[in-house]
Amino acid sequence: MKKKVKQQISGFSEIEQEIRILRKQAPDRSVEKGQVSRIIERLHPRKLNLAVSEIREETASAKTFRLVSGDHYLPPFLAGQYINLFLDVNGIRTSRPYSISSSPGQTAYYDITLRRVKNGFFSNYLMDEVKTGDGFQSTSPAGYFHHNPLFHGKDLVFLAGGSGITPFMSMIREVTDKGMDRRIHLIYGSQQEDDIIFSQELSERASRHVNLSVTHVITAPSSSYAGHTGFITGEVIRSALGNQGLTEKMFYLCGPEAMYGFVLSNLEKLGVPKRRIRIEIFGPPADITAHPGWPEQITKADRFQIRLKNGRVFEAAAGEPLMNSLERNNITLETSCRSGVCSLCRTKLLSGKVFHPAGAQIRKSDRKYGYIHPCMAYPLEDLELLI
């Protein structure tokens, strides 16, 4: 619109006058440079530089690593969240997520507790090679496996298996240390009695706090063991919790892959609605070819060609997440969950086909336009990627 037209609008010149005055007194915004990123960094720094300050043996196969900040302070987190640790293992830059097991009541350090995984690439390196004083990078805490006061309620049931105890330990420590108004019942499955991580601390806390009770379930018990044995069944849950109010409680589930399907079907039989169940994400399954939907004719060892935009070509095994093959070829993508959920590694597939197991969460329109989450995508054909 022409100036002489605008000027006929009633009230125009008054506002022009107001703007003139404001401009005369206007602050110089350049002093605000950097403010937005400083604010964001306080809550969500992109990367943390961590150092191991202490290593504690929990059981024969599990250790706790106490991590302190190398430079920055550690941002607050919600009990149940994880960090993704980056390391060079045998010359390969890779990462794995670990739940924080310490309480969010302090952020002088984050504890992570891990258990050796048979033939595990990363876990064995951490267990055997990493020493006090070693440094590495991580993402800042992330994840949705935490108590949400808006709808979870105050009656919580934690169903844990093996190293799946770690997020619960953080929650239990927080609730008991702070005297929070929540009731927790932990049902914890372990291989043998001496595999129970945090065994002593759990029983101490349970004896001191009426709002915490603990039920152990042992898969391969010694002959003298008197408690529950086998797996976490509907029977075990019912005998631990009673029959009352099962559908009002919030159930949280974290443990090895095999535990999920089993426990979920038991909860369903008990009449627990899906909305009262929280499931922690889990990384790539031990054997992807056993997953429903995997094409029969393709085996773990089949290899396909991966072509990048710059013309580079290398091979990848069908039975392994594409991200691992990329890392072995020195291509590191942004990543946090390594479970197909956080979407940081979102990549466009220009041609070819991949398999995403059910746990991978891909947006509808991302599927339509060929976006994949390489941390949970397995090649089924030769692929061309927009990297």
Partner 1 sequence: MTDYDAVIIGAGNGGLTAGLTLARAGVKTLMLERHNIPGGCATSFVRGRFEFEVALHQLSGMGTESFPGPLRSMLKDLDMMKDLAFVQMENLYRAVLPGQMDITLKADRAEAIQALKAKFPQETSGIDGFFDLVWAFCNQWIHVVIMKDPEATSEKHPVYFQYALKDTQSVLDEFFKNPLLKSAVGIYWSYMGMPPSRLPFGDFAVIFWAYTEFKPFHIKGGSQALSNALLNAYIQAGGDVHFNCGVKKIIVKDNRVTGIVTDQGDEIATANIVSNAGTYTTYVELIDREHIPEESRRELGARTVGTSAVTIFLGMDAEPEALGIREATNFITETTDNDLAFSTFRTLDPPMAMLFTCYDVDDPEFSPKGACQAAIVSLAYSEPWLSIPTTRYHETKYRYAQDMLNTLYKVFPDVRHHIEEIDVATPLTHMRYLGHPGGAIYGFEQSARDSELFLDGSSPIEGLYHAGAFAGMGGFQPTLMSGQSAARKLIRQLK
Ligand X SMILES: Cc1cc2nc3c(=O)[nH]c(=O)nc-3n(C[C@H](O)[C@H](O)[C@H](O)COP(=O)(O)OP(=O)(O)OC[C@H]3O[C@@H](n4cnc5c(N)ncnc54)[C@H](O)[C@@H]3O)c2cc1C
Say if residues 353 and 359 touch (Cβ distance below 8 Å): no
- The contact set with ligand X (CB under 6 A) reads 82, 96-99, 112-115, 117, 119-124, 143, 163, 166, 256, 281-286, 337, 339
- The contact set with partner 1 (CB under 8 A) reads 1-2, 5-6, 8-12, 15-16, 18-19, 22-24, 26-30, 32-37, 39-40, 42-44, 75-76, 78, 107, 144, 148-151, 273-275, 334, 341, 343-346, 348, 361-366, 368-369, 371, 386
Cα separation of the two ends of the chain: 46
Q: How far is the CB of 142 from partner 1 (least distance, A)?
A: 12
Q: Which is nearer to ligand X, 103 or 339 (CB)?
A: 339
Residue with tokens 């609730």: 175
Q: How far is the CB of 334 from partner 1 (least distance, A)?
A: 5
Q: How many CA atoms lie within 13 A of 113 on its CB side?
A: 23
27 binds, among partner 1, ligand X, none (CB under 5 to 8 A by kind): partner 1
Q: Which is nearer to ligand X, 234 or 283 (CB)?
A: 283
Which has the closest alpha carbon to 282: 346, 360, 335?
360
Give 201-210 contacts, CB < 8 A, sequence gap 24+: 201/169, 202/172, 205/172, 205/173, 205/176, 208/176, 209/176
Give the residue closest to ligand X by C-beta.
120
Amino acid at 118: K
Which has the closest alpha carbon to 44: 122, 158, 154, 143?
143
The pair of structure tokens assigned to 66 is 């106490």
Which has the closest alpha carbon to 322: 279, 365, 360?
360
Q: How far is the CB of 373 from ligand X (least distance, A)?
A: 13
For residue 202, the SS3 value is helix
Q: Which is nearer to ligand X, 82 or 158 (CB)?
A: 82
Q: Which is nearer to ligand X, 221 or 280 (CB)?
A: 280
Q: How far is the CB of 162 from ligand X (least distance, A)?
A: 7
290 binds, among partner 1, ligand X, none (CB under 5 to 8 A by kind): none
Q: How far is the CB of 223 from ligand X (least distance, A)?
A: 27
Q: Which is nearer to partner 1, 8 or 119 (CB)?
A: 8
Q: How far is the CB of 380 from ligand X (least distance, A)?
A: 18
Q: Which is nearer to ligand X, 246 or 375 (CB)?
A: 375
The pair of structure tokens assigned to 249 is 């409680």
User: From the CA atom positions of the chain, what is the Rg in Å?
Assistant: 26
For residue 270, the SS3 value is coil
Whole-number Å distance between alpha carbons of 223 and 177:
36
Q: Which is nearer to partner 1, 231 or 371 (CB)?
A: 371
281 binds, among ligand X, partner 1, none (CB under 5 to 8 A by kind): ligand X
